[in-house]
Chain A
Amino acid sequence: MRETPSTVMALRDTGQSKEILRTSGIVGQIERRLFLKQGLSLGALTLLTGCDVTDTSAVQSALNDISRWNDRIQALIFNPRRLMPTYPESQAVKDFRYNAYFGQSQIPKIDGANYKLNLSGLVGRRTPWTLPELYQLPQVSQVTRHVCVEGWSMIGKWTGVPFRTFLQRICADLTAKYVGFECADGYYSSIDMASALHPQTVLTFKISDEILAPRYGYPLKLRIPTKLGFKNPKWITAIFVTNRFPGGFWEDRGYSWFAGV
């Protein structure tokens, strides 16, 4: 492989980066991954050696392999019965920090009356759920710390149905490996079944005792305090259970897939 800067420059010049971000086809995905790989490895090796290198994919593929290995280590460290620390309600932040891969002007506006949560994969009952149906499920509240991969953290109060309860209601195959999420903003993510069944993993309707504001993921967000913030998808529109590794938006861009805290 030869260096790619000319291609990168061309893209930058025509300002197509945002379009690439939005491209959803397979070609777009392959291009993105190729760019990520070439970009990461080229830059890294250039930094290490101070010169251009011809074959660079080896470093990035080694880093990816180590990240996969670290996912397995993290799964071993994860104790499915260990509860994350909880805090007094007084410590919960009311004006919670907004974070997404886009600005607040692009927040999805979801019409609650027409909202449907779609289900697929290894699920016994695939009938979509409406919001009133979801709101009738038993609810719990938690005051836990949201830890962002960027390094900041914030304590908040979330309320919703324990995800385990929901998975049981839809007769999901609880021996399957993964639970995946699709969101109205194009975001997607997935978690391991052990973490999905953790008692503090909650399909969330409320933050600070109020129905989620649009910027916090209305109408549905996954709150999973055993994982980093980007594993807490907002604006969820579909949930699926599978044994095929589903990846995720940031995970496919190099972030740790397990992302346990």
Chain B
Amino acid sequence: MTDVVAEQLHRVSKVMVHPLTVRVTHWLNALAMFIMIMSGWRIYNSEPIFPFYFPVELTLGGSYDGSVDIHNEDGLAGALQWHFAGMWLLAINGIVYLAYGIFSGHFRRAFFPVGPAAVLRDTIAALRFRLPHRLGVYNAVQKTLYLGVLAAGMIMVLSGLAIWKPGQFQELTWLFGGFDVARVIHFLGMAAIVAFVVVHIALVIIVPKTLPAMITGRASAHEAHRED
């Protein structure tokens, strides 16, 4: 009898899986990335590195046709304004998130330990759709992806500074192999992040219960703590 009640309570009780700071910085970061990537695509269009353009409908930076018709300018000014405004949101939010992650122990608990053997095992399990998803607990594949996208984010900030100030920050630009190479790295970092976002959103669609958890922070105890 008591066992049944305890079991029921365990099933309906909610536990915190994503702390408030993680949730707020997650969504602010989503907004910042939306601004940075879409304005970045329009900036890219003004001098493409590779033989393709991004469709202007997918870019951010105000009225494109108005810019072309009225200023003989392909909407670059507006895109740059968005990019250099979004950078503050991205940077300040990123610093808050990193400081919280380091000092609260969140990074240590959530992302470590992660080793090659565990990554291999979980990757194989994931590819066979045998990898269970426990809210708030990351498997080795998730740990690798999250650490990877964090690293990509930092490379984006540094390579961005290198191409924003190739004169004042010339040592940084030199470390990236010069202005032109830094531009390519800034592009490839974007591509890596976009690839992450695609996988990330695909996984949320496959496991929809992760979405409310990232909004409310809570999940039912049996979802979060089920032992497999």
B80 contacts A149, CB within 8 Å? yes
Is A240 in the interface zone, CB < 8 Å from B?
no
* A-B CB pair tally, cutoff 8 Å: 127
Contact across chains for B63 and A226 when beta carbons are under 8 A apart: no
A153 touches B179 (CB 8 A): yes
Query: Which of the listed residues B49, B63, B65, B82 has the most CB atoms from chain A within 10 Å of its own CB?
Result: B63
The answer to whether A11 has its CB under 8 Å from any CB of chain B is: yes
Give complex CA distance A151, B160 in Å.
12
Contact present for A44 and B60 (CB under 8 Å): yes
Question: What is the total number of residues of chain B having a CB less than 8 Å from a CB of chain A?
Answer: 37
CB of B167 within 8 A of CB of A260, answer yes
Q: Is the CB of A66 within 8 A of B167?
A: no
Interface size on A, residues (CB 8 A): 50
Residues of A within 8 Å of B217, CB to CB, are none
Rounded to whole angstroms, the CA-CA distance of A226 and B165 in the bound complex is 9
With a CB–CB cut-off of 8 A, which chain B residues contact A77?
165, 168
Q: Is A187 an interface residue (CB 8 A)?
A: no
Q: Is the interface of B mostly helix, strand, loop or mixed?
A: helix
**Residue in B47, B62, B65, B170 whose beta carbon sits within 8 Å of that of A152 in the complex:** B47
Contact with B along A6-44 (1 / 0, CB 8 A): 001001100001101100000000001001100111111
* B78 A70 Cβ-Cβ under 8 A: no
> In the complex, which residue of chain B has the Cβ closest to the Cβ of A46?
B63
| Contacting residues, chain B, for A261 (C-beta < 8 A) | 164-168
Q: Are B46 and A150 in contact (CB under 8 A)?
A: yes
Contact indicator B66/A151 (Cβ below 8 Å): no
Told that A8-B63, A11-B69 touch, could you supply 6 new A-B pairs with CB distance under 8 A? A8-B66, A39-B63, A41-B62, A42-B63, A62-B85, A101-B72
